[in-house]
Amino acid sequence: MNDLSKYNNKLIYKKNKLFLEDVSLNTITKKFDTPIFCYSSTQISNKFNLFRSSFKKIKPLICYAMKANFNSHIIKILAKLGSGVDVVSKGELEKCLINGVEANKVVFSGVGKTEKEIEFALKKKIKQINVESLEELEEIEEICKRLVTKINICLRVNPDVNANTHEKITTGRLEDKFGIPNDKIQRIFEKYNGNKFIKITGLSIHIGSQIESLDPFKNAFTKIRKQILDLKKKGFKILTLDLGGGIGIKYNKDSKIIDIKMYAKLIEKLFSDLGAEVILEPGRYIVGTSGIILTRVIRVKKGTNKNFLIVDAGMNNLLRPALYGAIHNICPVKLKDDKKRISYDVVGPICESSDIFIKDIKLPEVLKDDLIAICSTGAYSSCMASDYNLRPKASEIFVKKNKFIISNN
C-alpha cells in the first residue's frame, strides 16, 4: 500500500503524509471541500512524452482521446506539447479548438455524428472524419455538396477482434456497433474513387479500451496491414492509418500493463514500410494515472458482518465501479503506526446499492473525518460525473511541483 509509484510516480508518502508532487494533500483539503479531483500536471506531460519518444522509426501524430478527460487545463498542457485531439462530439471539437489545438490535428470519431456536428466540423476544416458506416459517408457527401467543400475520410474498420477487455468497453467485434465490416471496405473505396467531395485517405481502427495485452493489438493490426496491401494492389492510395488507442493502465494490484516500447515496436514492424501517416489516439494512457480523488470519511458504520466506510465521494463522482465493476486502489492520506488491519467496504452516499468503491479492503483503523485517496481517476471519472441526488460536482485541482490551481471547466 505504501508503494504508490506503480499507480502514479508523483504520489508519495513523506513522513507518513501523502503528497502529490510537492504538495501535501492535506493542504488542498484546507482550501477546498471534499471530494476533490487532484491531478499531477507533470505526470500528464511525462506520459505524453514517454509515449511519443517510444517511437524510433516513425513520428506518429498523437491525437489525445479527449473523451477520457475534457478539462481545459489538460487540453492546454497537451496542445503546448504538440498533441492533436480525437473528438466524438461538437462540444469536444469546440472546446479543443478554444484551448489551443490546431484544427489540422483534429480527428472526429464516433458512430453517431449528427448532420449539425458534421457541418460544424467541415466548416472548421479539421484534419479528417473517421466514418463508421456507408450511410454516414453518404450523409457527409451531401453536406459537402451543399457547402461546396471537400473532406479527408478514414474508414473505420471493424476487424472482428476480441480485445479481451470488459464487455462494455470492447469495440472491435462484429456484434459491436462500431466500424465497417472488412468485406465492405473495398467496395466503398471503389464507389468514392475520384469523388469531388470525399477523399478517402485511409483506414481507422479501434478495438476497445483498457487492453492489458499486446495480442489483441497484434491480431487487429495484422488484419489491417493485409487489408492495406490488398487495397494497394487494387491501385488505391493509403495515405493515413489511424490505429486508435486502448492501452490499459494500473488500477489495482491485478492490473497488467503493456510495455509501451513493445507496443511502439509492434506498430513500427507492421506499418513503417507502408509510407502512410500513422495516427494514434491514447486517452486513458496519458491521463489515467495522473489523477486521484480525495474523499473524507463521513462515518464508520459497523454492520452485522461488515464495517462500512461511508465517504463523501460517490458514484456521481466516480461511476466506473458501478458501471464496470472496476476496482481502484485506495490508500489513506495519513499513515498510522497501527499494524492492525481492519476489513472495510468503502461506499459512497448515493441512494443506490451499486454505490460501492471496493469491498473487503484491509486498512489501518479509519475514523470519522479521515481522508483517503482513490487512485487512477484521471480518465473516465470527472468527465462521466453527474449531479445525481443533486450533489455538486467535485472541484478539479492541478498540481505542479509545490503549487496548485483549480480548473473546473
Catalytic site positions:
351
Indicate the helix (H) or strand (E) that contains 286.
helix 284-287
Indicate the helix (H) or strand (E) that contains 129.
strand 128-131
DSSP letters of 144-181?
HHHHT--EEEEEEEE------S-GGGB--STTSSSSEE
Instruction: Please give the Cα distance from 190 to 264 (Å, whole number).
Output: 32
Q: 106 Cβ partners below 8 Å, 6+ apart?
A: 63, 84, 85, 86, 87, 93, 96, 97, 124, 126, 127
Q: 86 Cβ partners below 8 Å, 6+ apart?
A: 63, 64, 65, 66, 67, 106, 107, 109, 245, 281, 283
Pick from 111, 220, 218: nearest CA to 159: 220
Pick from 297, 303, 274: nearest CA to 365: 297
Indicate the helix (H) or strand (E) that contains 324.
helix 320-324
Instruction: Please give the Cα distance from 394 to 38 (Å, whole number).
Output: 10
Q: 98 Cβ partners below 8 Å, 6+ apart?
A: 72
End-to-end CA distance of the chain: 32
Contact 398, 325 (CB under 8 A): no
Dihedral pair phi/psi, residue 171, rounded to 5°: -135, 5
Instruction: Please give the Cα distance from 94 to 96 (Å, whole number).
Output: 6
Instruction: Please give the Cα distance from 162 to 200 (Å, whole number).
Output: 27
Set of cell numbers at residue 127: 484534419
Indicate the helix (H) or strand (E) that contains 320.
helix 320-324
> What residue type is assigned to position 280 of the chain?
L
Contact 121, 152 (CB under 8 A): no
